[in-house]
Amino acid sequence: MKLSQLVTLRHKLEQLFTLSDTTAKDTMSALVFDTEKIQKFVSVYPFNDNIDTFTDKLIEIILTMNSNRQQVLELILICIKEIDTQIEKLAEPYYTSGYIINDAPAPISVTVDNEDSIRVLPLDENSKDMLINVIRGYTDWQYPTLEIGPGRGVWTEHLIAGDPLYIVDIRQEYLTATLSKFNDVYRRRVRPYLIKQGEGDKFADLSDLPQNQFGFIFSWNVFNYFTLYESISYLRESYKALRPGGVMMFSYNNCEVPICAYNVEVGFKSWMTKKLLTKICTDLGFEIIDTGSIPVYDQVYWIEIKKPGKLRTVKTHQVLGRIVPV
């Protein structure tokens, strides 16, 4: 069985468990109450033998139903645990293999020129507006903001409240494309950094950026393509870059969902799960603020994490400067 098929089976069993568990709790509480009520009623009022036999049988059937339902739920949980074991084994090779921009075994040939049109997370206008509001809630002129992997600046324009705004990428083309969206005056406030790409847990290096300074770090549709170890590397570097109380928000490919697991199998995205990601973040010292998703689109998942502490600043106004003609 393929990895995506196992994830699909687990997803269906989990839904069944949730439905059954909810039904069981509601029904069982009602049935237990009815059982006690019948027993009390029987003990107070004398009935003939036929009715006594009927009520005893009714109580027996109700208790059996409760017992059987519990057995079903326990069996589903055992099955889910076994599936989790198999998924973990099959997923391990994907920890070190991920999306490669010009050499991916993806259904569509992906290059720098067409990447931004292929690497798309579907969003309707309402969902995008909701995400923009979340982003704006975290950006503030009192603190620097960092965007990892701006692409062609689709989200960058919503981060401009951060002062200054840093953007980093491993490709100059994207930094240039993002800067071109702004006028000359604002462009002077943006700090572009071309970073080198390493390997494994040394994949990311943000040491050239201010450390322990950023109030907000944002990355959208980027971690979706990092391998497990590349994600850990960026998260470790981001933790060092954030000031206490600073927040990081990024999307990821949640392979607890069938379509996301399938995207890994065809080489288009990288393996990650919500459970694994939350553990990685907490192990690195982050606090989990929230994990989000857009139900309409099974591929859109993100997490908001925080470096422990309280945001503080001595800045009393935005950075001011004088533009000198050259």
**Is the per-residue pLDDT at 46 higher than 70?**
no
Task: Give residue 75's pLDDT band: very low, low, confident or very high (50, 70, 90).
Answer: confident
Q: Do 132 and 56 belong together in one domain?
A: no
Report pLDDT for 312: 79
Taking residues 19-33, report their average pLDDT: 46
Report pLDDT for 50: 54
Pick the last residue of a domain from 62, 95, 128.
95
Rounded CA gap, 99 and 165, in Å?
27
* Percentage of the chain exceeding pLDDT 70: 71
Query: Worst-scoring range by mean pLDDT, 118-127, 197-206, 235-244, 280-289?
Result: 197-206
Report pLDDT for 130: 92
Q: What is the CATH number of the domain that holds 228?
A: 3.40.50.150
Q: Is the residue at 319 inside a domain?
A: no
pLDDT tens readout for residues 86-143: 888 888 888 876 555 434 444 455 565 676 667 778 888 888 899 999 999 999 888 9
Q: Do 16 and 89 belong together in one domain?
A: yes
Kindly compute the dihedral angle of the four CA atoms of residues 44, 27, 75, 15, in this order, to the nearest 10 degrees. Answer: 180
- Residue 107, CA distances (Å) to 7, 189, 245, 262 in order: 21, 40, 42, 12
Q: Calculate the average pLDDT of the chain.
A: 79
Q: Do 77 and 146 belong together in one domain?
A: no
Q: Do 179 and 58 belong together in one domain?
A: no
Q: Is the residue at 285 inside a domain?
A: yes
The contacts of residue 148 (CB under 8 Å, 6+ apart) are 168, 169, 217, 218, 219, 222, 234, 238, 250
Report pLDDT for 290: 94
Judged by DSSP in three states, 204 sits in coil
Question: Which range marks the domain in which residue 54 is found?
Answer: 3-95
Q: Do 135 and 56 belong together in one domain?
A: no
Task: Give residue 185's pLDDT band: very low, low, confident or very high (50, 70, 90).
Answer: confident
Structural domains in the chain (count): 2
Task: Give residue 203's pLDDT band: very low, low, confident or very high (50, 70, 90).
Answer: confident
Q: What is the pTM of this model?
A: 0.78
